[in-house]
Amino acid sequence: MASKSELKELVDALRRANRVAVLTGAGISAESGIPTFRGEDGLWKKFRAEELATPEAFSRDPKLVWEWYDWRRGIIAQKKPNPAHKILARWEKSFPAFSLITQNIDGLHQKAGSKNISELHGNIWKVRCTEEGTVTENYETPLKEIPPRCPSCGALLRPHVVWFGESLSSSVLNTAFLISSTCNVMFVIGTSAVVQPAASLPLTAAKSGAKVVEINTDATPLTSYADFSIKGKAGEILPKIDKELRALIKSLRN
């Protein structure tokens, strides 16, 4: 955990910030019981990404890919947002400008009440028609039909997520870089900061003069660039920062 003086400095910077941005990764959902990708019990330790999370894998065996996503949806459907998700949803209403950028596809930020979210890698509760390209919400767990088919044209549906080797939506990415280059403070929570282009966003923020705050249980390639690097669990650290921030604001009002 950060020292008292470090926390005071961070909270003071936060209190004076007009534009706050947050980038989250799988680590923020770890305390909700959703496995990360590269952690000890991470998904990529158990499964081969090339067999499950690439367009080639899908064209080779759409049934296998959908069985895996159906399994993941089944797990995620039972999970609840943790205090870290909830505080970010509340902060959205507390700052003049607050933007949340997530690499997560689990939808827990929305479940916690966050509205202003840029989903870089898509959403596991959305499906896309491989023929017409239409995107629809689908919360069916388990899926009645695997692989699921488009109700209007009968073509295969695919998860509306970004697979390895695929490009991100240019509009979502442009928004994310704009947010990063104009924020005063950027929190980077629960990401290993190795997957591009997401991992470039905090560096863009730093280059634009923002204070970068990393919250992670481990060091990452970003740690040496961060102004504040707080080691610990997001669900424990964010409540502490929030408590200090509210105490500071209250003391200034008195």
Query: CB of 110: closest distance to ligand APR in angstroms?
Result: 16
- Are 202 and 225 in contact by the 8 Å Cβ rule? The answer is yes
Contact 63, 147 (CB under 8 A): yes
From 2-10, 28-36, 171-179, 240-248, give the range in contact with ligand APR by CB under 6 A.
28-36
Pairing of strands 19-24, 157-161: unpaired
Task: Determine which helix (DSSP H) or strand (DSSP E) holds 208, and give its type and residue range.
Answer: none
Should residue 83 be labelled a site residue for ligand APR when binding is judged by CB under 6 A?
A: no
Q: How far is the CB of 253 from ligand APR (least distance, A)?
A: 32
Judged by beta carbon, residue 31 or residue 244, the one nearer ligand APR is 31
Let me know if 160 is a catalytic residue.
no
Sole residue written with tokens 């699921």: 148
Among 233, 241, 242, 245, contact with ligand APR (rule: CB under 6 A) = 233
Restricted to residues 130-189, the positions that interact with ligand APR (CB under 6 A) are none
What burial class does residue 196 get, using C-beta atoms within 10 Å of its C-beta: 0-12 exposed, 13-18 middle, 19+ buried? exposed
Least Å distance, CB 152 to ligand APR, is 29
Nearer to ligand APR, 19 or 38 (CB): 38
23 binds ligand APR (CB under 6 A): no
Q: Which segment (5-13, 32-40, 173-181, 221-229) binds ligand APR by CB under 6 A? A: 32-40
Of all residues in the shown chain, the one whose CB is closest to ligand APR is 27
- Total residues binding ligand APR (CB under 6 A): 23
17, 32, 34, 37: residue in contact with ligand APR (rule CB under 6 A): 37
SS (H, E, C) 163-207: CCCCCCCHHHHHHHHHHHHHCCEEEEECCCCCCCCHHHHHHHHHH
Q: How far is the CB of 120 from ligand APR (least distance, A)?
A: 7
Residue 62's Cβ-count burial label (10 Å; 0-12, 13-18, 19+) is middle
Nearer residue to ligand APR within complex by CB, 74 or 197: 197
Q: How far apart are CA 124 and CA 106, in angstroms?
A: 6
* HSE (side-chain half, CA atoms, 13 Å) at 17: 28
CA 3, CA 173: separation in Å to the nearest integer?
35
Give the residues lining the site for ligand APR (CB under 6 A): 25-27, 30-31, 36-39, 42, 103, 121, 190-192, 195, 215-218, 220, 233-234
Catalytic annotation, residues: 121
